[in-house]
Amino acid sequence: AQSVTQPDIHITVSEGASLELRCNYSYGATPYLFWYVQSPGQGLQLLLKYFSGDTLVQGIKGFEAEFKRSQSSFNLRKPSVHWSDAAEYFCAVGLIDSNYQLIWGAGTKLIIKP
């Protein structure tokens, strides 16, 4: 069955350090890929998405993600985190041959150390 795995429930990073959040999916074809962010007490907001083309995708707030077909991964990166990046991050996968059903990962909570 199709699934999305975010292996890290929590990640703690020092302010100014680099960040990588992992996302792996299980799906037979190349899906549409999304990263959303949820700040405390708020709804989700799209950070970036990949549909096709260049496998390195730039998003808002200085985030980027790289699609690696061979690893079925879509990891989110930021070179230098800010305290305002503390939030929960969700990876999601759109199944293009299943009526574009969307599968969500369980989320990774990012904690920033001052």
> Across-strand partners of 20?
77
CB of 78 to other proteins, least distance (A): 20
| Rounded CA separation 27/3 (Å) | 7
Pick one of 17, 56, 60, 106: the residue that binds other proteins (CB under 8 A). 106
User: Do residues 11 and 98 touch, judged by C-beta distance below 8 A?
Assistant: no
Enter the tokens of residue 1.
Answer: 């069955």
Q: Which stretch binds other proteins (CB under 8 A): 14-22, 58-66, 67-75, 97-105?
A: 97-105
Using the contact rule CB under 8 A, the part of the chain among 18-26, 28-36, 62-70, 71-79 near other proteins is: 28-36
Does 72 interact with other proteins (rule: CB under 8 A)? no
CB closer to other proteins out of 36 and 63: 36
3-state secondary structure 14-66: ECCCCEEECCEEECCCCCEEEEEEECCCCCEEEEEEECCCCCEEECHHHCEEE
Which one of 42, 52, 53, 114 is in contact with other proteins (CB under 8 A)?
Answer: 42
Among 16, 17, 46, 60, binds other proteins (CB under 8 A): 46
